[in-house]
Amino acid sequence: MLTGQNFQEIYLQCADCNQEFAFSVEEQEFYQQKGYTQPKRCASCRAQNRQSKSGGGGYSNAPKPRFDAVCDNCGVNTTVPFQPAQGKPVYCSDCYRSMK
């Protein structure tokens, strides 16, 4: 943990890319205020690590999975955006809208 109030810019070595990076006075003050330890990664490696853990964050453009089903009301073959459960009714879009 960081201690003291007279910070000076220091240089640390990134644990991922081994590049030296600056740990500014402002960053040190922020880290101390939050109770954080010194960073082990440079800013770009931290961002890359954060993105890989979170799956990239935000919304994905990947198509959502659809599941085949038969409408319990009209008998038409359809697809739904959820896994149909045994014993639970499933409706096509038209029947679902008409029931609302």
What are the DSSP calls for 20-43, one per residue? EEEE-HHHHHHHHHHTPPPPSS-H
Output the pTM of the full model: 0.48
- In the chain, how long is the greatest CA-to-CA distance? 75
Residue 67 in contact with residue 83, Cβ under 8 Å? Answer: yes
CA distance 50 to 17: 15
Q: Where are the domains of the chain?
A: 10-54, 67-99
Express each pLDDT in 29-81 by its tens digit: 999 999 999 999 999 999 888 877 765 555 667 788 899 999 999 999 999 99
Work out the average pLDDT over 2-24.
87
CA distance 28 to 65: 46
